[in-house]
Amino acid sequence: MSDLLSVCDIKNDVENILEIAKKFKEGKIEGKPLEGKALAMIFQKSSTRTRVSFDVGMYQLGGRPIFLSSSDLQMGRGEPISDTAKVLSRFVDGIMIRAIEHDDVVELAEYSDVPVISGLTNLEHPCQALADMLTIKEHLGEFKGKKLCFVGDGNNVCNSLLLITAILGMDMSVACPEGYEPNEEILKKAEKLANENNAKITITSDIKEAVSNSDTIYTDVWVSMGDEAEEAKRQKDLSPYQVNKELMSYANPDAIFMHCLPAIRGEEVTSEVIDGPQSVIYDEAENRLHAQKAVLYHFLG
């Protein structure tokens, strides 16, 4: 049995999972491969794309998704995570959790007898990264020789993108102000993977340097759930890193724009860019469904 808590957990399976996702999208995998199976979906954080894509994905595969908010579980009233993991393992075939703390997901997986899939933590967002790579493959055709530039806060999405691009041999740069760099431990892992796969990673506060020769420009909200107390400071620090028409002009002419959503137009990205011809955000959002189905098929099939 294995879990998906980090992109590193699937470093030998990324390309296979992406190929399965592509086949699901093309309708080449038929039947109900997860018929009779159940997935517990624990949400400590609100969600649109993660909840709907896992729910619909499990349904389309013939299985039963069970939505559980914190208020639905005794875990929300102080039951140990270990007890919750052991009990759910007797009922379901897999657990997907969208959590606040990464350590909680690690603990859940430690005591679970069924696969645990991270739907997001404060450290990583591996399922988003898979959907992003599926989108990039569709629009750019390949990973090697291409460059992704992440602009803004080096957050959980950025962390997972660093790992997955390194695994696939794609260059990645991060343009961020001092104090907003990606997680140090994640960065070390990503740099090791990049060296193994002839990819290059650059972390810089110089936006022009980061964006130059990029094939993909990616950003996320400046104030994530849980960062609301720092909203004013974050907006001030990150305002020079807004993705706008001028910034896009530094990238390759046919570069695509990506955002994991939700987006705040006028803050991290202008309407001109996110609603413009280079934006692929809705393909990216749709691909959450196909990537999620591939993950469920891989871990529960």
Write phi, then psi, for 143 (nearest 5 degrees). -105, -45
128 has binding-site annotation: yes
Q: Is 48 one of the annotated binding-site residues?
A: yes
Both tokens assigned to 21: 């996702």
Residue 127, marked binder: yes
Is position 98 annotated in a ligand binding site?
yes
With H, G, I as helix, E, B as strand and everything else as coil, classify residue 94: strand
CA angle 118-123-125, nearest 5°?
45
64 in a known ligand binding site? no
Lookup: tokens for 223: 């104030």
Angle of CA points 168, 173, 175, to nearest 5°: 150
224 annotated ligand-binding residue? yes
Residue type, 199: A
292 marked as binding residue: no
Tell me if 50 is assigned to a ligand binding site.
yes
Q: How many CB atoms lie within 10 A of CB 244?
A: 12
Q: Which residues are catalytic?
A: 98, 125, 128, 220, 260, 288
Contact indicator for 63, 39 with CB cutoff of 8 Å:
yes
47 is in an annotated binding site: yes
* Kind and range of the H or E run holding 121: none
Q: Is 126 annotated as a binding residue?
A: yes
Residue 93 assigned to a binding site: no
Sign of CA pseudo-dihedral 268, 270, 274, 278: negative
What single-letter amino acid sits at 48? T
Annotated binding site for L-ornithine: 156, 220, 224-225
Binding site residue list = 47-50, 74, 98, 125-128, 156, 220, 224-225, 260-261, 288
Residues that constitute the known binding site for carbamoyl phosphate: 47-50, 74, 98, 125-128, 260-261, 288
